[in-house]
Amino acid sequence: MTSRNYDSDVSPQVLDHCIGQKKLLAKLKVAVESSFIDGLALPHTLLTGPAGVGKTMLSQVLAKEMAGEFFEALGQTITSVQTLNGLLMCPVLPNSVLFIDEAHELNPSIQVALYKALEERCVFVANEQRQTVQKLDLRPFTLILATTDPQGLLQPLRDRMKLHCQLRRYSNEDIEQILAQKISQLGWAVSRDVLHQISVRSFGTPRLALRLMESIRRTSRSLGDTNLSVHHAKVTFEVEELDAVGLSADERQYLSILSESGRPMRLGILASRLGQSPEAVSKVLESNLLWLGFIDRSDRGRSLTAKGIEHVQASRHLSAQIQERESQ
């Protein structure tokens, strides 16, 4: 668990500076204003959505909006009720935010202890030497749970989250705005075309877009340059083996195997062909392919959609052209 000093970074400081997620931001602004008017802490909040869409950043911004401290922990690190109780006792100042990321990793018994503590607004600490149990009241605070898998949370715990907020992937235009905002804060010189090249390879995910921009900057610096150009972007994408829409070599191999099969393929067989576990294929490789609309998952197995077939054919045509030019 960490208490973070986030005033020195270049993340948004208020909700009005956040880009995208307009309906969600409007919902949160209403909650913040209502809490201030009533003199209450922000309601306990559940943030759901794909990895990398800004759940942690948004939680930090909410703490800033409420002028409270921000405490952060990962669900998988809270392995005992004692650890949970210590975490719940951290918020002391008014309007503090306690953020638990990957909350679906919490053991069910820990989840039960958590929602009971929220309900009773206290924790019970055992003193083994005196063989007594001490009741400790909790100061008012806001619990924010973030998860990519809300079904991994017990229903009673989900019910105690008064604000349910679904974050979605961003449009390319929003991604470009986020990159431009970050670039302005960092003082980098970047071609506008580079922002577009990054956005179309980011799968609507700001974290991935920012990572690609940092990779392009490393390429630029390695060549002794200070600006980020289309050439630097092209070199970076080639080094990282990304195609025109950002697919990795593994994702392209996945599509190629399905294309060669010509019929639906079961996950286990596909994973074996890829040399990966079924879970890794299902949770990692297929995420972006599904979002792009390149594949279908059904009881019969995995298969390419019309868009997926078109992308494979276009990629093969481009590869053939490149090989022809290189052979001349």
159 and 18 within one domain: yes
Assess if residue 152 is contained within a domain: yes
The 10s digit of each residue's pLDDT in 259-274 is 998 899 999 999 999 9
157 and 15 within one domain: yes
Contact 255, 290 (CB under 8 A): no
pLDDT top residue among 60 and 11: 60
Assess if residue 67 is contained within a domain: yes
Assess if residue 288 is contained within a domain: yes
Q: How confident is the model at residue 9 (pLDDT cuts 50, 70, 90)?
A: low
The 10s digit of each residue's pLDDT in 304-323 is 999 999 999 988 876 666 56
How large is the average pLDDT for residues 135-144? 93
Q: What is the pTM of this model?
A: 0.86
DSSP single-letter state for residue 265? B
Of the three residues 166, 193, 222, the one that is the final residue of a domain is 166
How large is the average pLDDT for residues 40-58? 95
80 and 136 within one domain: yes
Quick one: pLDDT at residue 185?
Answer: 85
Minimum mean pLDDT range among 2-16, 215-229, 241-255, 265-279: 2-16
SS3 191: coil
pLDDT-above-90 percentage for the chain = 81
Of the three residues 166, 198, 217, the one that is the final residue of a domain is 166
Assess if residue 244 is contained within a domain: no
200 and 223 within one domain: yes
pLDDT top residue among 326 and 144: 144
Of the three residues 151, 166, 181, the one that is the final residue of a domain is 166
Q: How confident is the model at residue 130 (pLDDT cuts 50, 70, 90)?
A: low
- The count of domains in the chain is 3
32: pLDDT strictly greater than 70: yes
197 and 177 within one domain: yes
Assess if residue 28 is contained within a domain: yes
Q: How confident is the model at residue 124 (pLDDT cuts 50, 70, 90)?
A: confident
What does pLDDT average to over the chain? 91
| Structural domain containing residue 123 | 2-166
Q: How far from chain centre, in Å, is Cα 195?
A: 20
Alpha-carbon separation of residue 119 from 41, 85, 225, 292 (angstroms): 15, 14, 57, 42
The CATH code of the domain that includes 299 is: 1.10.10.10
Assess if residue 161 is contained within a domain: yes
Quick one: pLDDT at residue 3?
Answer: 44
47 and 129 within one domain: yes
253 and 232 within one domain: no
228 and 205 within one domain: yes
19 and 85 within one domain: yes
Assess if residue 138 is contained within a domain: yes
The 10s digit of each residue's pLDDT in 271-317 is 999 999 999 999 889 999 999 999 999 989 999 999 999 999 988 87
Q: How confident is the model at residue 128 (pLDDT cuts 50, 70, 90)?
A: low
10: pLDDT strictly greater than 80: no
The CATH code of the domain that includes 38 is: 3.40.50.300
8: pLDDT strictly greater than 70: no
Quick one: pLDDT at residue 316?
Answer: 83
Q: Which amino acid is at 322?
A: I
Joined together, the tokens standing for residue 206 give 């700001």
Q: How far apart are CA 280 and CA 327, in angstroms?
A: 37
pLDDT top residue among 9 and 134: 134
Q: How far apart are CA 35 and CA 66, in angstroms?
A: 9
19 and 46 within one domain: yes
Assess if residue 144 is contained within a domain: yes
225 and 254 within one domain: no
Q: Please state, as a whole number, how many other Cβ atoms lie within 10 Å of the Cβ of residue 180.
A: 14
151 and 16 within one domain: yes
Quick one: pLDDT at residue 194?
Answer: 96
